[in-house]
Amino acid sequence: MAAPETLRKSSKDIPKIANKICDDMLKDLEHAKRPLLEAVKCSLDNSFYDPKVGYLTPGKKKVATELNVSSVQKMARTVFFLDILLNNIRTGGVNTKRELYYMAKGLIKSDSHLKPLDFDDQPESDAIIEFICDMLMVYREEMNCFANDRGGQTYSKQLVVTEHLPDGTRAEVDLGSLGTTPFQPKNKPQVFKLKTKGKIDFCLIIESEGTANTLVSNGFTKRYKSILVGAQGVPSNGVRGWVRTIQDQLKIPCFFYGDLDAYTLQNIFRTLKAGSAASLIRNSEFSAPDVRFLGVLPEDVKKYDLHCYPVSEKNPAEARSLKKARDVLQNDPFFQDRRNKKLADILNWLLKNKVRCEQQAIFSVNPKDPTMPEKIIVEKIKRGSFV
């Protein structure tokens, strides 16, 4: 089976890099020197944000594992798993982490002297896969290890997607012809070429897929030349990569609409716009730096008299969210950057007023008019009421 053709084809020769690492380890061992495996430290304290780059990038911090009696198990597991992944790359095999866990168990079962490597549970093998990716500075998909498909549901009357398939054929999907069925890109690199039937004014990403569906049912995409994407909570790689493709290929303004609370701003919007600390090495392809925050904004709460919920320090979950907002202001380079001051201002407003407002609150404005929510959204875009 040939290796799948992907748009985000790795610029790195993974087998070569892996071979070099293993060769160095073997050399060290021959000289009774301790081999050292280094991986990028994927955490907030090793994240840097440059607005010109647009997403979080890794710093110089490394997680180093030196061979000793305690780490020999981890190292043996790492090299064992690396062999499985390299084999997948060679043969074009594609697997999820769960499948890889069972494959490893199968190999161990078939060779009794490998028994000490056995994994008790999937988190153990997942940790090894993640360590390998961080060590090679590649993302899981480049090692042909894919997560469950969870791309965002997308609607548009103007968008036409052409997919280049691994066997050399092409598939063309006209989103306008799909009726009420959404187009849903996969959570793995697909080769898409986008074109439009006429001009598209904007792309709107909605936090709640339910609300996205409601807008479509009420005729949003018929009335406005747009692309509508449901983000389904914290955006998956599928959503992030897909919005990035729209942003890069169509060069249209992209807006995000979600709840007004610390969680949405920090976990959902920031991850969509600039990636996350946990995925530092793949943010370059899985973030859409041009997306703007359309709302809910504090000014909307006032203008449309939207219903808010109090956030209390006494409620443990809510106290955690307040603490997180404070932490973010102090430690997250994205919110600390001058260009994102307006986003930081929203966090400060949330801390000061101790309330949160849900995205569906706009449905309370003139409930007799079902098109009211879309009117508010479009008016905000026209008015420039976004951050």
With left for phi above 0 and alpha for psi between -120 and 50, is residue 384 left, alpha or beta? Answer: left
Should residue 73 be labelled a site residue for another protein when binding is judged by CB under 8 A?
Answer: yes
Should residue 200 be labelled a site residue for another protein when binding is judged by CB under 8 A?
Answer: no
Q: Could you tell me the smallest distance in angstroms from the CB atom of residue 290 to another protein?
A: 42
Q: Could you tell me the smallest distance in angstroms from the CB atom of residue 33 to another protein?
A: 7
Per-residue CA distances from 121 to 49, 74, 146, 347 (Å)? 36, 15, 19, 39
Cα–Cα distance measured from residue 213 to residue 202, given in angstroms and rounded to the nearest whole number:
17
Q: Could you tell me the smallest distance in angstroms from the CB atom of residue 146 to another protein?
A: 23
Select the residue interacting with another protein from 14, 82, 128, 228 (CB under 8 A): 82
Select the residue interacting with another protein from 33, 109, 320, 339 (CB under 8 A): 33
Smaller CB separation from another protein, 84 or 274: 84
Should residue 89 be labelled a site residue for another protein when binding is judged by CB under 8 A?
Answer: no
Should residue 25 be labelled a site residue for another protein when binding is judged by CB under 8 A?
Answer: yes
- How crowded is residue 99: how many other Cβ atoms within 10 Å of its Cβ? 13
Cα–Cα distance measured from residue 311 to residue 289, given in angstroms and rounded to the nearest whole number:
30
User: Using CA of residue 326, residue 330, residue 333, residue 337, what is the dihedral sign?
Assistant: positive
Which part of the chain contacts another protein (CB under 8 A), choosing from 31-39, 127-135, 226-234, 248-256? Answer: 31-39
Smaller CB separation from another protein, 73 or 315: 73
Q: Which of 211, 214, 383 is nearest to 304 (CA)?
A: 383
Q: Could you tell me the smallest distance in angstroms from the CB atom of residue 134 to another protein?
A: 18
Give the footprint of another protein on residues 116-135 (CB under 8 A).
116-117
Should residue 23 be labelled a site residue for another protein when binding is judged by CB under 8 A?
Answer: yes
Sequence-ordered strand ranges (E) for 197-263: 202-206, 226-230, 254-257
Cα–Cα distance measured from residue 17 to residue 19, given in angstroms and rounded to the nearest whole number:
5
Select the residue interacting with another protein from 3, 7, 17, 22 (CB under 8 A): 22
Smaller CB separation from another protein, 55 or 81: 81
- Which strands form 191-196's sheet, in the order they lie side by side? 170-174, 159-164, 191-196
Should residue 70 be labelled a site residue for another protein when binding is judged by CB under 8 A?
Answer: yes
Which part of the chain contacts another protein (CB under 8 A), choosing from 62-70, 129-137, 161-169, 189-197? Answer: 62-70
Under 8 Å between Cβ of 286 and 237: yes
Under 8 Å between Cβ of 227 and 246: yes
Phi, psi of 44 (to 5 degrees): -60, -35
Select the residue interacting with another protein from 1, 11, 60, 69 (CB under 8 A): 69
# of chain residues touching another protein (CB under 8 A) = 30
Select the residue interacting with another protein from 113, 352, 368, 382 (CB under 8 A): 113
Q: Which of 109, 65, 131 is nearest to 117 (CA)?
A: 109
Select the residue interacting with another protein from 83, 248, 313, 379 (CB under 8 A): 83
Pairing relationship of beta strands 254-257 and 292-295 according to DSSP bridges = parallel
Cα–Cα distance measured from residue 359 to residue 372, given in angstroms and rounded to the nearest whole number:
13
Which part of the chain contacts another protein (CB under 8 A), choosing from 27-35, 123-131, 148-156, 199-207? Answer: 27-35
Binding site for another protein (CB under 8 A): 18-19, 22-23, 25-26, 28-34, 67-70, 72-73, 75-76, 79-80, 82-83, 86, 113-114, 116-117
